[in-house]
Structure 1
Amino acid sequence: MRLRQLEAFRAIMLCQTVTRAADMLFISQPAVTRLLADLEESVGFPLFERTRGRLHPTAEAQLLYEEVDRSLIGVERIARAAHAIKTQQRGSLHVAAPPSMALSFLPRAIAAFVADHGETKIMLGVYDSRSIVDMVIGQRCDLGIVNLSISHTGTHGDSLLSAAHVCAMPVGHRLASKELIVPTDIEGELFICQPSHLGTRLLIDAMFAAYGVKYRAAPVESPVAFTLCSLVAAGQGISLVDAVTAMEYKGQDLRFIPFEPPVPLEFSVLTPLQRKPPKLVEAFLAHLRKFAIAELDPRLVLK
């Protein structure tokens, strides 16, 4: 019993004539007749009674048709699923990302991706970068987005985006009317920092030191850029935050001003080294890059 025989049988049941069944299957009438004869020989009983050129299904054929139709619907579903997987229209992704991405930019990027990839399911988890690296190495996610160096044992890394930092300050601040902030503008300002163990904090401090600038460290710190924005809004000082976070911050109480020299925040994509990324992952990464370039101010995308 072959699949093509079952398809011919169902076509005849639906169309009631060999001619229309042949048209439905895009094959010749003799081919349909041959397939039906082979199926009857295979099952061991007649499926149709032939009267004046028409085929009338037997009682046995009616019973068999219920099973055949159910089975062929399943086969067609599998074929559609295979096509969807091949064209990246179906699948699932577990994405791990830091708050700076997962609470702002990524939800909108994912929504746009899902709109174009109908049956794709995406699970977005929020973790710190070190935890994301461990998850990728342990293959507990399909890809991780981190703001760390892309060189990690056990992972394959690609650069996603290098975003500049901007200076966040209350709209009434003395510097808020400027179109560009430079290090000397920060001299003596109350400045909200990230914790001292973070690479971005070290980079910012080194930059200020190179310009001989001394700020007044605020008594509160945070590793999360969104929290830095909220602290600025609460009057705790000014700060430098990445352009991705600045783009998504919804408060009307802050002004974000470009800062020079550029202080980059590198966003990298990590995938497990032990396996080749599926096509869906590759499609998602390509989408993220295009989405980021389209959404961000070109002056704030460093590469």
Structure 2
Amino acid sequence: METTARPTGTSELRADCGSCFGLCCVALPFTASADFAVDKDAGTPCRNLNAEFRCSVHAELRRTGFPGCTVYDCFGAGQKVSRHTFGGTDWRSAPESAAVMFEVFPVVRQLHELLWYLTEALTLRPARSLHADLRRLLAETENLAALGPGDLVELDVAGHRQRVNELLLRTSELVRAGVRRGKKDRRGADLMGAELRGADLRGVSLRGAYLIAADLTGADLRTADLIGADLRDARLAGADLTGSFFLTQPQVNAARGDAATRLPGTLDRPAHWS
């Protein structure tokens, strides 16, 4: 059944674990690695998930071998699926719904991530010529996220993501046009471990760039496009990311910053940063 969604605000695109049935702790798989202490199959509850759908080691995730959990963010998909898509019926009390719920969760997560980008794009004044198109695609994405379980399972998320991405690319070009001044774009670039200390990256496209363990200490990333950039263990001490756009909380969580790192106002400083 299709319903019409009410407009989504950024607060609804933030995880509210207290309103979720621990979906990320069950639906998603993980492999024993530096990020997770054990293997876990998709659809199998994490050993740390308690009867109240809470993590029993939440305050000690990094110390107990689960730093990957501190990086993940569902963009509010957990509470949306738990409280709206399935009307507050949890997978333990209704095990017949569990498989579909776990299949729907990553679909809604992708849609909510797109809603985050579209909502942010509408705040970017240099792209105001695209705002009407952005609003239409935002409304369409909201309506898709409000679909029932059966329709969500059948949804062509990749096709919809491509349409959104095309508009976000045009948005990026307009936002960066006045500041890049001939700088080389680094879209998809392999910058793993790169020495970028103090670099002037204003207006540079770093879409999908591999910045794993890169040294961005003191770098100026204002008006840089960071959509999809891999910032795992990137050093952001003293870096200025105010005005950077399409940056998300999971990216920030995966990086290494400090008290001097400047972030956009929509993002939180991770508790594990020094």
TM-score of the aligned structures, taking structure 1 as reference length: 0.25
| Bigger proportion of residues as helix | 1
More relative contact order in 1 or in 2 (CA 8 Å, sep 6+)? 1
TM-score of the aligned structures, taking structure 2 as reference length: 0.27
| Bigger proportion of residues as strand | 1
